[in-house]
Amino acid sequence: MTDNQMQRALEQFKSLAPIMPREMIGLWSGRGIPSGHPLDGVLENLGWFGKRFTREMRADPLLFRWNERRLIPIDPARIPLRLALRFHSVGRTRTARNVFSYLQRGLRAKGTVASLKIMPFQGVASAAMAYDDQPIVDHFRRLDDRRIMGAMAIQGDDRIYFFELARVDEHS
């Protein structure tokens, strides 16, 4: 990981305005922002679509494409996080994509698996999503009216995974 890439992404994130949880209700498509994090490119390779936030301030943090037309929520508690970080390069392979598509049904979440709330990050309170069964918090800031930037922080790991979410029109 290059510290320079991560520092630039962090400075951009810190320069953005906060967003409130209620503004995030709905479906969002996602993409990683390359910053030298081990997970750069992994989620996209596995077919990550984005996130969904409910009126009850709950969330599906990992929505993946299933059979071109459907989205399937994956339970992050079923993913060995430290192992995924250690062997991240495997996550960018065709083999990983094929194996993951086969395993998706077994990894499916039985309901929402994260909470949306206001939390501080780098001294600024903004919307954040805390995973129920993983030591992960995604912090959010506003890019514009339809896009937000996220910073995924894993407890005990100084590296930050950056991503962008774009609001999906519910009628598309």
**Lowest-confidence region among 53-62, 70-79, 116-125, 163-172:** 163-172
Question: What total of structural domains would you count in the chain?
Answer: 1
Indicate whether 40 belongs to any domain.
yes
Indicate whether 147 belongs to any domain.
yes
Quick one: which of 52, 60, 35 has its CA closest to 163?
35
Give the domain extent around 100. 3-167
Query: Can you give the pLDDT at residue 3?
Result: 76
Indicate whether 172 belongs to any domain.
no
Confidence class for position 172, pLDDT limits 50, 70, 90: very low
Indicate whether 76 belongs to any domain.
yes
Exposure string over 38-73, b if 16+ CB within 10 A, otherwise e: bbbebbbebbbbbbbbeeebbbbbbbbbbeeeebbb
**Residues 6+ away with beta carbon under 8 Å from 46:** 64, 91, 96, 97, 100
Indicate whether 130 belongs to any domain.
yes
Query: 32-76, pLDDT tens digit by residue?
Result: 999 999 889 999 999 999 999 999 999 999 999 877 778 999 998
Distance CA 99, CA 18 (A): 38
Given a cut of 80, whether residue 156 has pLDDT beyond it is yes
For residues 171, 30, 83, 132, the Cα torsion angle rounded to the nearest 10 degrees is -60
Distance CA 12, CA 75 (A): 30
pTM attached to this predicted model: 0.90
Indicate whether 124 belongs to any domain.
yes
Indicate whether 48 belongs to any domain.
yes
CATH number for the domain harbouring residue 37 = 2.40.128.580
